[in-house]
Amino acid sequence: MSTRAVRFKQVDVFTSVAFKGNPLAVIFDADDLSTERMQSIARWTNLSETAFLLRPTDPRADYRVRIFTTATELPFAGHPTLGTAHALLESGYATKTPGKLVQECGVGLVTLAQDDRGRWAFAAPPARITPLDDAERQRLTDALAPASIDFSAPPCAVDNGAPWLIVRLRDAAQCLSLTLAPAAKEALTALVAETGTHGIVVYGPHENGVLATFELRALLFGAENIEDPVTGSANAALAMLLTAQNKRPGDAYTVRQGTALDRDGRVSIAYDDRSDGSPVWIGGDSVTVIDGTFRF
């Protein structure tokens, strides 16, 4: 039986220290793989996401990527966007424009730019924000009790290609101490399905801002019943929501995520107006952990 070999990297994203971020599998030269084959590979890697690098179909793009969880394909996700760019650049790819990359994916074109420190950030795609109705808010409150929801920032469903239900808690300690009984998980599974989201994002401010501006956790329900270590799409959605709710903590802030999983993910968020006019940029470090050959 013949086998095919392609380049493969496993990258830890939103960290400069291996094993403290969110791992991503990157499969190169995936143009002739079927959707079914990609899904089977993603199921086998058993990571939150696996990214497949392909030639772009849009001449403005540097590359195209398809992103799969163990259960489904995503039109966009944050840590695969940063991790795929890191893997591609490390492999020797020369960008069309110095300090800039254009990724083609399910939501269209996503721009990445390099800052003065050499760190990359992606321009967050536009987001659709939908507040919960009164009944949904009450069900959310019941499910998260005794955690204290900060309703000065009303819970909302936010969809930027990866839809999340975002809930602000009183502080970072409330976020870290949150535990869910089986009945609460069942209620939240129903609520995220009803709101068309993947899961719930809870976040809370750190008291002095030294560790980070916010602590964040992303809990998935349904096909995947896990906590995601560090989540670019959720942080992008939160950044958009903070603007909509007049809760922005300045022109830049930081998020710590993964603490409850013994990770130490660090996400940098900047509000500015770079060349393509995107209002929100999500950045972080990446480090390669595995570099080799994938055979199938």
Residue 103's contacts (CB-CB under 8 Å, 6 or more residues apart) are 61, 62, 63, 64, 65, 81, 84, 85, 109, 110, 111, 112, 122
Identify the sign of the CA torsion 227, 228, 231, 234: negative
Percent of the chain having pLDDT more than 90?
A: 90
Instruction: Please tell me the predicted confidence (pLDDT) of residue 190.
Output: 97
Active site residue 215: no
pLDDT tens column, 116-143: 788 999 999 899 999 999 999 999 999 9
* Residue of 49, 104, 224, 227 with catalytic role: 49
On whether the CB atoms of residues 265 and 22 are closer than 8 A, the answer is yes
Instruction: Please tell me the predicted confidence (pLDDT) of residue 1.
Output: 55
Residue 108 burial by CB count (10 A; 0-12/13-18/19+): exposed, middle or buried?
middle
How far is Cα 176 from Cα 164, in angstroms, rounded to an integer? Answer: 19
pLDDT for residue 287 is more than 70? yes
pLDDT for residue 221 is more than 70? yes
Nearest C-alpha neighbor of 157 from the set 130, 133, 184, 135: 130
How far is Cα 287 from Cα 86, in angstroms, rounded to an integer? Answer: 8
Q: Which two tokens stand for residue 215?
A: 């602590």
Domains, in order of start, for the chain: 5-124+283-295 (3.10.310.10), 128-277 (3.10.310.10)
pLDDT tens column, 250-272: 999 999 999 999 999 999 999 98
Average pLDDT over residues 273-278: 57
The C-alpha R_g of the chain, in whole angstroms, comes to 19
pLDDT tens column, 142-200: 999 988 999 999 999 999 999 999 999 999 999 999 999 999 999 999 999 999 999 99
On whether the CB atoms of residues 28 and 66 are closer than 8 A, the answer is no
How many whole angstroms from its chain centre is CA 258? 12
How many whole angstroms from its chain centre is CA 105? 14
* CA angle (142, 148, 152) in 5-degree steps: 105
SS3 content of the chain, % helix, strand, coil (to 5): 25, 35, 40
Instruction: Please tell me the predicted confidence (pLDDT) of residue 10.
Output: 98
| pLDDT higher at 223 or 12 | 12
Instruction: Please tell me the predicted confidence (pLDDT) of residue 2.
Output: 59
Q: How many CA atoms within 13 Å lie on the side-chain side of 248?
A: 16
pLDDT for residue 25 is more than 80? yes
Q: Residue 83's pLDDT band (boundaries 50, 70, 90)?
A: very high
